[in-house]
Amino acid sequence: MLTIRIDEKPEALPFYLQIKLQICDQIRSGALPAGTRLPSSRGLAHQLQIARGSVVRAYEELCQEGLCTSGVGIGTLVCEHQNQPDMAGQTDTQASTLQVPDEPLNSGSGLISLLPSLATTEYLPKSELRKGFDRVLRYSSRLTAFNESAGDHRLRQLICEKLLPERSIRAQPQNVLIVPGTQYGSMLIALTLNKHRSDLHFGEPGYLDIARNFSRFGFSLKAHPMDNNGIILDSQLGKNDVLYLMPEHHFPQCITLSEKRRQEISHQLVNNGLMLIEDDYDSEFYYERMPLPALKSQQGHENIIYSGTFSKTLFNSLRLGYLVAEADLIQEMASLHWSLSRGTSGLLQHWVAELLAAGTLTKHTQRMRTVYQRKRDKVAELLAHRCPEWQFDVPKGGLQFFVNVGSPEMADQIIAKCRDMNIRMAHPSNYVLHDKSLMNFIIIGFGSASLSDIEKSIEELLL
């Protein structure tokens, strides 16, 4: 039976999101099994004493994300392919990825977020950020026209001069496409590559949002196991295949792809026609060594699409990133981008270009590397002292701990307790397709929460 509680406090989420997220939780837990008919939008709105439009929007998004289906005469039903408790042996990987992820939303002032890969805004150089905006507005006439479909030329030039060399990548502006976030960029890639390729390969546990986007555009999904050396490819990949990698910090485990595995994949790029997407989402946050050169800098780079982002260095809601690839592929994706949205926000592009040119981003990144390393060390000490039965490796980079808590049942108990305590912690099913035996972990993000809040959360979880 569906149970919905609406929080009417001013700082609470919009009603439609509260409804959607609560239904997601109940589907995931098995409280709403496959085939369950949800109440009519009119009936639920009347029951909750809210506008019907909020319920309609929640149902529409659930259907768009594959959690539910609807039709005339049947109402809205929970889909049969969701990640229910009895699906440990499921082999239909493409369907099972459509489970909705935990979203890093602001859910009230009392909430503590331990969601992974979230940047803190506490140390933003606000004065420098304002100066950057002032410089943009000083020449406001530049904002009256659209940028090139591939993005602001100055920003692309600065990326080539200031960011890519740090990853040993040589590129020209015609090799760069500015996109409104990695998710959007992945959809451009999927829509462009699906004419000639059919299968997406990725490591599991892993960042399934990209796989989810490829699945929406017809790709078959192939999950591969991970070990301490990175992804394990048990077969040769070729011209029908796309491999999605995070070689510096595989998410969420923060595993670095070993040199041997890098060479094996490079061989397949050169000899088999494999296409690779290299997601370099937070390599700037390294704590014990410099990051390895990007795969895009090495042999076979013509078949690599490199993805970078500004969201981790500034703030996640910025939604500004970039793709680096061969010029003809960039032009094809830029044309599609123009058709879909008339390009990326000119204001944001001009602003970030000013920050890059002034050195503001570089200085802020260096400062945050020190801040995050101190937080990482404190959290590692806390976990080792308070949770000796939990198994984890101290991450050499990134913004989260991957913690083995012993069993999927223990992970479920911890997540449920977090919900009761107003703590946001991502469920392991966000990172695993269908094998419930792999869901024996929790992710503790330390980027956005304060050390005192993290310590308080762990102490309360252990009570």
The last residue of one of the domains, among 339, 361, 383, is 361
Q: How far apart are CA 154 and CA 152, in angstroms?
A: 6
Note whether 60 and 151 are same-domain residues.
no
Q: How far apart are CA 188 and CA 217, in angstroms?
A: 10
- CATH number of the structural domain spanning residue 284: 3.40.640.10
Note whether 412 and 307 are same-domain residues.
no
> Is residue 106 a part of any domain in this protein?
no
Cα distances from 250 to residues 226, 261, 431, in angstroms, run 9, 13, 12
Q: What integer pLDDT is reported at residue 189 of this predicted model? A: 96
Q: What integer pLDDT is reported at residue 95 of this predicted model? A: 41
Enclosing domain of residue 72: 15-82
Note whether 273 and 181 are same-domain residues.
yes
> Is residue 107 a part of any domain in this protein?
no
Note whether 239 and 297 are same-domain residues.
yes
> Is residue 89 a part of any domain in this protein?
no
> Is residue 329 a part of any domain in this protein?
yes
Q: Into how many domains does the chain fold? A: 3
Note whether 327 and 369 are same-domain residues.
no
Note whether 223 and 280 are same-domain residues.
yes
Note whether 394 and 306 are same-domain residues.
no
> Is residue 6 a part of any domain in this protein?
no
Q: What integer pLDDT is reported at residue 234 of this predicted model? A: 83
Note whether 294 and 411 are same-domain residues.
no
Note whether 388 and 407 are same-domain residues.
yes
> Is residue 160 a part of any domain in this protein?
yes
Note whether 369 and 354 are same-domain residues.
no
DSSP H or E run through 70: strand 68-71
> Is residue 418 a part of any domain in this protein?
yes
- CATH number of the structural domain spanning residue 118: 3.90.1150.10
Note whether 163 and 241 are same-domain residues.
yes
Rg (CA), the chain: 22
CB atoms within 10 A of CB 123: 13
- CATH number of the structural domain spanning residue 55: 1.10.10.10
- The pTM of this model reads 0.78
User: From first to last of its 463 residues, what are the pLDDT tens digits of the chain?
Assistant: 788 988 876 656 778 888 988 898 888 778 899 889 999 999 999 999 888 988 998 898 888 888 898 887 788 999 875 444 333 333 344 444 445 455 555 445 568 889 998 899 999 999 999 999 999 998 877 777 777 889 999 999 999 999 999 999 999 999 999 999 999 999 999 999 998 999 999 999 999 989 988 998 889 999 999 999 999 998 899 999 999 999 999 999 999 999 999 999 999 999 999 999 999 999 999 998 899 999 999 877 899 999 999 999 999 889 999 999 999 999 999 999 998 888 899 999 999 999 999 999 999 999 999 999 999 999 999 999 999 999 999 999 999 999 999 999 999 999 989 888 889 898 998 899 878 889 999 999 999 998 899 988 888 887 7
Note whether 152 and 28 are same-domain residues.
no
The burial class, CB within 10 Å (0-12 / 13-18 / 19+), for 69 is middle
> Is residue 152 a part of any domain in this protein?
yes
Is 219:242 a contact under the CB 8 Å cutoff? yes
Q: What integer pLDDT is reported at residue 89 of this predicted model? A: 33
Q: What integer pLDDT is reported at residue 10 of this predicted model? A: 60
CB atoms within 10 A of CB 203: 25
Q: How far apart are CA 208 and CA 431, in angstroms?
A: 6
The last residue of one of the domains, among 361, 394, 427, is 361
Q: What does DSSP assign to residue 159?
A: I
The last residue of one of the domains, among 314, 329, 361, is 361
